[in-house]
Amino acid sequence: MTTISIGRLEGHLDDSLTWVVDLLVQHLDADPDYSFQVAAYRDGEPVLDLWAGPRLRQDSLMVPYSVSKNTIGFTIGLLLERAEIDLDERVAAYWPEFADKGKEEVTVRQLLSHQAGLARATPPLTVDELLDHHAGAARLAASRPQWHPGSAFGYHAQTIGNLGDELVFRVTGKTLHEVYEEEIRSPFGLEFHLGLPPELEDRRVPLLPMVRPPSAEDPPRWAPYASGIGLADAEGFDYGNDERSWRFGHPAGSATASARGIAGLFAAGVTGLGGKPPFLSPDTVEQIGQQQVRGYDNVLGLDGRAHSIVFQHHSAQLDWGGPNSFGHDGAFGCVGTVDPDTGLAFGYIVAEAPWPGGADPRAIELARELNRRAG
């Protein structure tokens, strides 16, 4: 790759991607405070590794909010690869206590595609329960679903981390964190941690709050099912910056990663990375990437949303690649995605998300164009 240093933009890229520099320089000229990392792999080989801005360095790590959920998706994929879990089996077959208050027939497929109606517990979880491998899951297992499972879907923004963690534990006897660390992160050397190691803490960059422009419209109105989705004792708790949160590494929202780590996870799972073959077969990739739901989200109150198994599926809002592309964005702008048809894995972190949050449109534009030119 070619090394570049143009103003605030630094890094390395494949010679075929010089157009990326022009695009990013335009964004930097428009926003002097724009601080980001972006990385991409094509068929497991690095083609893009750039960073810029006053708030992020080459080695910076940050909490990417819901981009963290990609760790759940790939860990479940690993269990599928090994035939240790069946998407169409009832959750209660692995986790008997889950069969309570109308959840007896909920399948793994429904649970992991936001159809189970457990976007919150009743009453809502506490911070201590959320940041625990079993306590939050036990409360969710004892809760009645917000809607009849399978009749609709709604984003389980936080709780899918507790549900996925407990399911992995019931299948393997290890937490999701342990399986992910031992079988995925460590073997591939990924900068994508569930629980930031103490020796890396000086590289962590705090998330900045979004600044609402004076001309901005009111944020989207949340649907009635979002009522009570928050934590019982959330006052004063910062999910992204609170030390309790990133030390634990909640798999739904408080992992710690670089753009290289995010892109590297997708490459390791789908195309292989660093000379190692992918840990998932094409058949398993098809299963976890296959669309499960599309339409109105009961929790977000938004139409046109789509999910695969844990991952978000390609949609009009997340037009980051071809029709089989999947991944996950984060509330504060970060993005991770892969297109199995082009072999392109993409990761992006940003210090300050553009209002009103969700995937940074600049990242979606870049991922889409990279895939278009690679196809």
**How would residue 353 be classed by pLDDT, with cut points 50, 70 and 90?**
confident
- The number of angstroms, rounded, from the C-alpha of 228 to the middle of its chain's C-alpha atoms is 23
Within the chain, strands assigned E span 2-6, 9-13, 36-42, 45-52, 192-193, 256-257, 293-297, 302-307, 312-313, 326-329, 335-339, 344-350
Note the pLDDT of residue 216. 65
Note the pLDDT of residue 226. 56
Note the pLDDT of residue 88. 98
**How would residue 1 be classed by pLDDT, with cut points 50, 70 and 90?**
confident
In this predicted structure, the answer to whether residue 222 has a pLDDT above a threshold of 60 is no
Note the pLDDT of residue 224. 57
Note the pLDDT of residue 223. 57
What percentage of the chain carries pLDDT values higher than 90? 87
Q: Collapse the DSSP code of 326 into the 3-class scheme (helix H, G, I; strand E, B; otherwise coil) and give the result.
A: strand
**How would residue 280 be classed by pLDDT, with cut points 50, 70 and 90?**
very high
Find the mean pLDDT for residues 330-338.
96
What pTM was computed for the model?
Answer: 0.96
Note the pLDDT of residue 357. 82
> What is the tens place of the pLDDT at every residue in 114-163?
999 999 999 999 999 999 999 999 999 999 999 999 999 999 999 999 99
> Does CATH number 3.30.210.10 belong to domain 2-374?
no
In this predicted structure, the answer to whether residue 217 has a pLDDT above a threshold of 80 is no
Residue-averaged pLDDT of the chain? 94
Specify whether the CB–CB gap between 199 and 98 falls below 8 A.
Answer: no
Neighbouring CB atoms inside 10 A of 286's CB total 13
Between 228 and 267, the more confident residue is: 267
Note the pLDDT of residue 219. 56
In this predicted structure, the answer to whether residue 52 has a pLDDT above a threshold of 80 is yes
Find the mean pLDDT for residues 71-89.
98
Specify whether the CB–CB gap between 337 and 5 falls below 8 A.
Answer: no
In this predicted structure, the answer to whether residue 270 has a pLDDT above a threshold of 70 is yes
> What is the tens place of the pLDDT at every residue in 167-186?
999 999 999 999 999 999 99
> What is the tens place of the pLDDT at every residue in 315-332?
999 999 999 999 999 999
In this predicted structure, the answer to whether residue 106 has a pLDDT above a threshold of 90 is yes
Find the mean pLDDT for residues 303-315.
97
**How would residue 220 be classed by pLDDT, with cut points 50, 70 and 90?**
low
Nearest of 127, 358, 88, 119 to residue 238 by alpha carbon:
127
Q: Which helix (H) or strand (E) segment is 172 a member of?
A: helix 159-172
Q: Collapse the DSSP code of 361 into the 3-class scheme (helix H, G, I; strand E, B; otherwise coil) and give the result.
A: helix
273 secondary structure, DSSP code:
B
Find the mean pLDDT for residues 277-281.
98
